[in-house]
């Protein structure tokens, strides 16, 4: 500590080396959906406000469901929703007694929904993390399980790669490398007589065989279903022969291990030791069985592909523009979403022919009305030379001072006790030497006073009284009679 | 220009605009087409009317006169809202990619597009969905890492893989699964005479679609050059950067 303080440079001035932990962070975030369910247990309550998940380990349920789906991937192409549901329901029953059937079904639903992100329309989970090498926040998207139709169009759950990572204790080595690693450890443990640990590892070895098989089978399936999109010689064949070599090597090691185990079993007479060794042997045999099946899959892949290709034979010959399938479409798909969006409209509309305009369709009418037009800017006379008529601006004929003046004049008259008519007021104004415009303004003000709501003089009420004719205006003569209550208020 | 000449020219354009008009079943259309190809004065008139009405003549053959709006401002152009109302940016991107996938499934190579003697492959909704998801998956495998710095820099394939491939128990076409988007696109293309559906029943997973002559010409004359420009543009930008 003292050394630290006596250092010449304060620690804050030193640049901090950011360790790249992306892989770790990624694996950590994969658990978030499962942990989130654990945190939000209270959100799923029954009528009497008790969480239906109370006393249940949702983490375990999620992992077990995931594990079960993986088992399904080994046997079938995954398990159906009903399969998974009943499995989870059985787990729930053993975890907490006394839950009704419908509540257990509900828990199973909650677990499956949490894994498949059902509240979010089955979209991928998205998590943010600090990406140390670039120093920015990044996002990863992942799914834990897939729910897809198999070749018989039955929807089945299988774990995704991310799901396998969650299951495999956060170690996402390439599955092939992992298999070799486990195998080395197995050999080591068996040689040292640590059979319990060996059994644990043999379990993992089996899981890996399953995952490996699913991975290769996906590849084969893709090739067989859309033979036009893969190049057998370049894309599929090398991967398959790698897989075959890998599996064969594993099998050799498997056989050696099983052989040595059998020898050991024969030489032992301690019954419990024999039993544990036999369990280990069975695990190894099970893993081996997966590999044998995989070899069969790989063997048949070539024929399947040929069949698929014969069904949709596509020769490629290049002329002019690059091909859609091989070049243009993948290139477009690789571009950032923002850029595709910029060109989206042009590209989309270029697909469609000329159609009669249908403005009277309600939807296009709304579209037209909601369309934001650029504001019009006058660009001088450079344009087409069309004639632009200036919009004549009509000046206000009554300036503010004039209005103020006539209102003063008028107020004095109207608030006096005598009764007035328009005709008399206009004549008076003329007699007092008010200008033509001023008299006109007076006339406007007086006619406005005809409506009580508009009137400047609420204590007076205008009534029509014959007609009049002056040099300024002519028309119905208005007589302003006082209204009692109005008068009271005013004064 | 005689009266009948202008009438005939307009009639030819009118027939060309019908989504399912075919010279095979319309004698007058057939005659007008023959006249367009033989009589240069007549074809001039047709071209003039088309240009004045903001229409572009893409192709003339015995299969018909193929016209398209001369641009998106043209009154004959469909509006983006005709495809689907209130589309967000992501939906537009998905829509473009699926349209392209449909083009790709029918005409995987330029040769398929250019050689009118080659019949395109009849394809189903599932074929198209698998095509687009397949290519997206290939790109995902080829891409380095699965993280991205910002939403708009996210590649298009990632956006598609984000969606559920098939929404279980969905009966209506919705934009929330790849399957649904393919269905929406095919329905629009059906409305505007770009694809034909086999059978009379409603669109299902196995319903077979075939492209029309119009789609081939649109792709060949407009979409493909347009797409090539867009992809080349970004390559040039990448080289500069």
Residue A121: its chain B contacts at CB < 8 A? Answer: 164, 176
Whether A25 is covered by a domain: the verdict is: yes
Q: Which residue of B has its CA nearest to A22?
A: B147
Q: How far apart are CA B143 and CA A479, in angstroms?
A: 91
Residue B72: its chain A contacts at CB < 8 A? Answer: 345-346, 349
CB pairs under 8 A between A and B: 257
Would you tell me how many other CB atoms lie within 10 Å of the CB of residue A80?
16
Whether A203 is covered by a domain: the verdict is: yes
Does any CB of chain B come closer than 8 Å to the CB of residue A335?
A: yes
Interface of B with A in 156-175 (CB under 8 A): 156-168
Q: What is the pLDDT of residue A356?
A: 77
Residue B162: its chain A contacts at CB < 8 A? Answer: 123-124, 141
- The dihedral region occupied by A154, where left means phi > 0, alpha psi between -120 and 50, and beta the remainder, is beta
- For chain B, the domains span 3-69, 80-234
Does any CB of chain B come closer than 8 Å to the CB of residue A24?
A: no
Interface contact flag, B160 A229, Cβ < 8 Å: no
Q: What is the pLDDT of residue B32?
A: 92
For residues B93 and A340, the answer to whether their CB atoms sit within 8 Å is yes
Q: Which residue of B has its CA nearest to A124?
A: B162
- The dihedral region occupied by B97, where left means phi > 0, alpha psi between -120 and 50, and beta the remainder, is alpha
Interface contact flag, B219 A226, Cβ < 8 Å: no
For residues A462 and A455, the answer to whether their CB atoms sit within 8 Å is yes
The phi and psi torsions of B59 (rounded to 5 degrees) equal -160, 145
Q: What is the band of A172 on the pLDDT scale with cuts at 50, 70, 90?
A: low
Whether A440 is covered by a domain: the verdict is: yes
The first and second tokens of residue A465, run together, are: 């009284």
Interface contact flag, A124 B75, Cβ < 8 Å: no
Distance of CA A243 to the CA centre of its chain: 36
Helix (H, G, I), strand (E, B) or coil at A148: strand
Whether A61 is covered by a domain: the verdict is: yes
Q: What is the pLDDT of residue A11?
A: 46
Q: List the beta bridge partners of residue A145.
A: A159
Strand extents, DSSP E, A49-199: 125-131, 136-142, 145-149, 155-159
Q: What is the band of A358 on the pLDDT scale with cuts at 50, 70, 90?
A: low
pLDDT above 60 for A8: no
The phi and psi torsions of B146 (rounded to 5 degrees) equal -120, 20
Interface contact flag, A349 B164, Cβ < 8 Å: no
Query: Does A224 lie in the same domain as A136?
Result: no
Interface contact flag, B194 A340, Cβ < 8 Å: no
Domain end (from A107, A138, A167): A167
Does any CB of chain A come closer than 8 Å to the CB of residue B51?
A: no
Domain end (from A167, A197, A214): A167
Query: Does A298 lie in the same domain as A227?
Result: yes
Angstrom CA distances, B163 to A123, A125, A142, B94, B169, stand at 5, 11, 11, 10, 16
Q: What is the pLDDT of residue A169?
A: 62
Average pLDDT over residues B9-36: 87
Q: What is the pLDDT of residue A361?
A: 64
- B154 or A185, higher pLDDT: B154
Angstrom CA distances, B72 to A3, A263, A339, B68, B75, stand at 73, 80, 19, 10, 8
Query: Does A132 lie in the same domain as A31?
Result: yes
Whether A122 is covered by a domain: the verdict is: yes
Q: How far apart are CA A192 and CA B181, in angstroms?
A: 59
- Could you read off the pLDDT of B163-183 as tens digits, one per residue? 888 877 766 778 888 999 999
Closest partner CB to B17 (pick from A26, A349, A354): A354
Alpha helices in A312-421 (DSSP H): 329-334, 337-349, 362-370, 400-414
- A264 or B93, higher pLDDT: B93
- A419 or A62, higher pLDDT: A62
Does any CB of chain A come closer than 8 Å to the CB of residue B130?
A: yes
Q: What is the pLDDT of residue A387?
A: 65
pLDDT above 70 for A229: no
Q: What is the pLDDT of residue B101?
A: 93
Q: What is the pLDDT of residue B210?
A: 92
Query: Does A118 lie in the same domain as A62?
Result: yes
Interface contact flag, B135 A332, Cβ < 8 Å: no
Q: How does B107-145 read in b/e, with b if 16+ C-beta sit within 10 Å?
A: bbbbbbbbeeeeebbebbbbbbbbbbbbbbbbbeeeeee
Q: How does A301-329 read in b/e, with b if 16+ C-beta sit within 10 Å?
A: beebbeebbeeeeeeeeeeebbbbbbbbb
Distance of CA A463 to the CA centre of its chain: 70
Does any CB of chain A come closer than 8 Å to the CB of residue B78?
A: yes
For residues A470 and A409, the answer to whether their CB atoms sit within 8 Å is no
pLDDT above 80 for A393: no
Residue B139: its chain A contacts at CB < 8 A? Answer: 330, 333-334
Nearest to A276 by CA among A291, A293, A264: A264
Vertex B210, ends B209 and B214: CA angle to 5°? 130
Q: How many domains does chain A have?
A: 3
The phi and psi torsions of A238 (rounded to 5 degrees) equal -60, -40
Q: What residues contact residue A304 under an 8 Å CB cut-off, 6+ apart?
A: A220, A223, A224
For residues A145 and A71, the answer to whether their CB atoms sit within 8 Å is no
Query: Does A196 lie in the same domain as A161?
Result: no
Query: Does A475 lie in the same domain as A420?
Result: yes
Q: What is the pLDDT of residue A6?
A: 45
Residue A139 C-alpha, separation from nearest chain B C-alpha, in angstroms: 5
- Could you read off the pLDDT of A293-339 as tens digits, one per residue? 888 877 777 776 666 665 544 443 344 678 888 888 888 888 888 88
Residue A260, domain extent: 175-311
Q: What is the pLDDT of residue A4?
A: 44
Residue B110: its chain A contacts at CB < 8 A? Answer: 318-324
**Range from A76-80, A109-113, B70-74, B163-167 that averages highest in pLDDT:** A109-113
Helix (H, G, I), strand (E, B) or coil at B56: strand
Interface of A with B in 468-487 (CB under 8 A): none
**CA gyration radius for chain A?**
44
The phi and psi torsions of B27 (rounded to 5 degrees) equal -65, -40
The first and second tokens of residue B49, run together, are: 């009317």
Does any CB of chain B come closer than 8 Å to the CB of residue A314?
A: yes
Q: How far apart are CA B104 and CA B141, in angstroms?
A: 21
Query: Does A441 lie in the same domain as A302?
Result: no
The first and second tokens of residue B153, run together, are: 């820099």
Q: What is the pLDDT of residue A23?
A: 74
Above pLDDT 90, what percent of chain A? 3
Q: What residues contact residue A425 under an 8 Å CB cut-off, 6+ apart?
A: A410, A413, A442, A446
Residue identified by tokens 């047709």 is B46
Query: Does A195 lie in the same domain as A119?
Result: no
Q: How far apart are CA A277 and CA A197, in angstroms?
A: 11
pLDDT above 50 for A415: yes
Alpha helices in A133-174 (DSSP H): 161-167
Q: What is the pLDDT of residue B45?
A: 93
Q: What is the band of A267 on the pLDDT scale with cuts at 50, 70, 90?
A: confident
Q: What is the band of B241 on the pLDDT scale with cuts at 50, 70, 90?
A: very low
Q: How far apart are CA B173 and CA A139, in angstroms?
A: 29
Maximum Cα interatomic distance, chain A, rounded to a whole number of Å: 142
Q: What is the mean pLDDT of chain A?
A: 77
Query: Does A214 lie in the same domain as A126?
Result: no
Whether A352 is covered by a domain: the verdict is: no
Torsion of CA B90, A23, A112, A65, to 10 degrees: 160
Interface contact flag, A321 B219, Cβ < 8 Å: no
Angstrom CA distances, B138 to A19, A381, B34, B161, B179, stand at 31, 56, 48, 11, 19
Q: What is the band of A487 on the pLDDT scale with cuts at 50, 70, 90?
A: very low
DSSP assigned state of A460: E
Average pLDDT over residues A354-382: 65
Interface contact flag, A323 B131, Cβ < 8 Å: no
Interface contact flag, B97 A332, Cβ < 8 Å: yes
For residues B155 and B110, the answer to whether their CB atoms sit within 8 Å is no
Vertex A275, ends A272 and A276: CA angle to 5°? 90
Closest partner CB to B154 (pick from A337, A349, A363): A337
- A452 or A360, higher pLDDT: A452
A9-18, A52-61, A382-391, B31-40, range with the lowest pLDDT:
A9-18
pLDDT above 90 for B100: yes
Q: What is the band of A275 on the pLDDT scale with cuts at 50, 70, 90?
A: confident
Domain end (from A141, A167, A193): A167
- Could you read off the pLDDT of A141-160 as tens digits, one per residue? 999 998 888 778 888 888 88
Q: What is the pLDDT of residue B171?
A: 67
Helix (H, G, I), strand (E, B) or coil at B123: strand
Average pLDDT over residues B134-139: 87
A83-92, A258-267, A402-411, range with the lowest pLDDT:
A258-267
DSSP assigned state of A50: -
Would you tell me how many other CB atoms lie within 10 Å of the CB of residue B200?
5
Whether A278 is covered by a domain: the verdict is: yes
Q: Give, rounded to a whole angstrom, the gap between the first and last alpha carbons of chain B.
A: 57
Q: What is the pLDDT of residue B185?
A: 92
Interface contact flag, B151 A337, Cβ < 8 Å: yes
Q: How far apart are CA B38 and CA A337, in angstroms?
A: 48
> The whole model's pTM is what?
0.54
Q: What is the pLDDT of residue A313?
A: 47
Query: Does A272 lie in the same domain as A251?
Result: yes
For residues A134 and A143, the answer to whether their CB atoms sit within 8 Å is no
Average pLDDT over residues B94-115: 89
Interface contact flag, A336 B154, Cβ < 8 Å: yes
Would you tell me how many other CB atoms lie within 10 Å of the CB of residue A42?
11
**CA gyration radius for chain B?**
20
Query: Does A31 lie in the same domain as A156?
Result: yes
A236-240, A303-307, A427-431, range with the lowest pLDDT:
A303-307
Q: What is the pLDDT of residue A486?
A: 43
Strand extents, DSSP E, A162-222: none
Strand A145-149 relative to strand A155-159, pairing = antiparallel
Whether A270 is covered by a domain: the verdict is: yes
pLDDT above 90 for B209: yes
The first and second tokens of residue A73, run together, are: 């991937």
Interface contact flag, B79 A367, Cβ < 8 Å: yes
- Could you read off the pLDDT of A97-106 as tens digits, one per residue? 888 888 889 8
Q: What is the pLDDT of residue B182?
A: 92
Q: What is the pLDDT of residue A485?
A: 47
Q: What is the band of A228 on the pLDDT scale with cuts at 50, 70, 90?
A: low
A102-116, A140-154, A203-217, B218-232, range with the lowest pLDDT:
A203-217
Q: What is the band of B98 on the pLDDT scale with cuts at 50, 70, 90?
A: very high
- Could you read off the pLDDT of A130-144 as tens digits, one per residue? 988 888 899 989 999
Does any CB of chain B come closer than 8 Å to the CB of residue A152?
A: no
């Amino acid at each position: 500590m003292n050394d630290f303080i006596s250092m010449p440079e304060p620690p804050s001035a030193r640049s901090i080396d950011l360790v790249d932990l992306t892989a770790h962070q990624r694996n950590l975030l994969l658990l978030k959906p499962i942990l989130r369910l654990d945190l939000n247990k209270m959100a799923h309550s029954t009528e009497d406000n008790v969480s239906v998940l109370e006393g249940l380990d949702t983490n375990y349920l999620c992992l077990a469901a995931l594990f079960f789906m993986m088992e399904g991937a080994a046997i079938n192409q995954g398990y159906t929703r009903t399969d998974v549901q009943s499995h989870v329901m059985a787990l729930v029953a053993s975890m907490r007694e006394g839950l009704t059937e419908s509540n257990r079904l509900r828990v199973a639903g909650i677990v499956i929904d949490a894994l498949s992100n059902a509240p979010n329309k089955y979209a991928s989970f998205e998590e943010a993390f600090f990406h140390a090498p670039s120093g920015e926040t990044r996002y990863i998207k992942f799914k834990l399980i897939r729910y897809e139709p198999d070749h018989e169009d039955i929807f089945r759950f299988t774990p995704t790669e991310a799901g396998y990572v969650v299951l495999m204790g956060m170690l996402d080595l390439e599955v092939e490398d992992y298999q070799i690693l486990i195998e080395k450890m197995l050999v080591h443990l068996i040689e040292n007589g640590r059979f319990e640990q060996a059994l644990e590892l043999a379990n993992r070895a089996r899981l890996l065989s399953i995952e490996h098989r699913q991975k290769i089978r996906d590849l084969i399936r893709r090739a067989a279903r859309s033979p036009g999109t893969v190049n057998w010689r370049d894309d599929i064949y090398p991967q398959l022969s790698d897989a075959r070599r890998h599996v064969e090597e594993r099998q050799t090691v498997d056989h050696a291990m099983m052989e040595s185990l059998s020898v050991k079993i024969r030489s032992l007479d301690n019954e419990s030791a024999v039993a544990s060794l036999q369990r280990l042997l069975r695990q190894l045999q099970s893993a081996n069985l997966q590999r044998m099946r995989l070899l069969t899959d790989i063997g048949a892949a070539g024929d399947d592909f040929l069949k698929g290709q014969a069904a949709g034979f596509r020769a490629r010959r290049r002329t002019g523009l690059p091909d859609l399938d091989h070049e243009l479409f993948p290139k477009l798909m690789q571009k950032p979403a923002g850029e595709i969006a910029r060109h989206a409209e042009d590209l989309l509309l270029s697909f469609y022919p000329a159609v009669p305009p249908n403005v009277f369709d309600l939807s296009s009418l709304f579209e037209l009305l909601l369309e934001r037009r650029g504001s019009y800017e006058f660009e001088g006379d450079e344009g087409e030379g069309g004639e632009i008529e200036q919009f004549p601006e009509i000046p206000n004929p009554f300036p503010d001072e004039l209005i103020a003046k006539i209102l003063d004049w008028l107020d004095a008259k109207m608030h006096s006790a005598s009764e007035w008519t328009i005709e008399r007021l206009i004549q008076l104004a003329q007699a007092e030497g008010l200008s033509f415009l001023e008299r006109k303004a007076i006339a406007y003000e007086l006619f406005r006073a005809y409506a009580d709501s508009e009137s400047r003089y609420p204590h007076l009420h205008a009534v029509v009284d014959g007609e009049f004719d002056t040099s300024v205006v002519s028309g119905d003569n208005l007589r302003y009679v006082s209204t009692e209550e109005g008068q009271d208020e005013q004064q | 220009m005689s009266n009948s000449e202008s009438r005939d020219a307009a009639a030819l354009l009118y027939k060309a605009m019908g989504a399912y008009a075919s010279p095979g079943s319309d004698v007058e259309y057939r005659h007008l087409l023959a006249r367009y190809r033989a009589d240069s004065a007549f074809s001039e008139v047709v071209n003039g009317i088309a240009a004045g009405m903001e229409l572009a003549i893409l192709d003339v053959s015995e299969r018909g006169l193929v016209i398209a709006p001369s641009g998106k401002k043209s009154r004959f152009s469909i509006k983006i809202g005709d495809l689907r109302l209130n589309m967000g940016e992501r939906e537009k991107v998905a829509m473009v990619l699926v349209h392209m996938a449909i083009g790709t499934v029918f005409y995987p190579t330029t040769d398929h597009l250019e050689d009118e003697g080659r019949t395109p492959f009849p394809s189903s909704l599932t074929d198209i969905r698998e095509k687009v998801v397949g290519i997206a998956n290939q790109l995902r495998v080829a891409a380095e890492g699965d993280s991205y710095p910002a939403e708009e820099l996210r590649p298009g394939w990632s956006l598609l893989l984000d969606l559920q491939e098939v929404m279980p128990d969905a009966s209506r076409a919705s934009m929330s699964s790849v399957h649904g988007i393919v269905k929406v696109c095919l329905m629009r293309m059906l409305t505007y005479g770009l694809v034909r559906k086999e059978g009379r029943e409603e669109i299902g997973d196995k319903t077979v679609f075939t492209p029309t002559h119009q789609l081939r010409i649109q792709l060949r004359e407009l979409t493909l050059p347009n797409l090539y420009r867009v992809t080349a543009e970004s390559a040039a930008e990448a080289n500069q950067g």
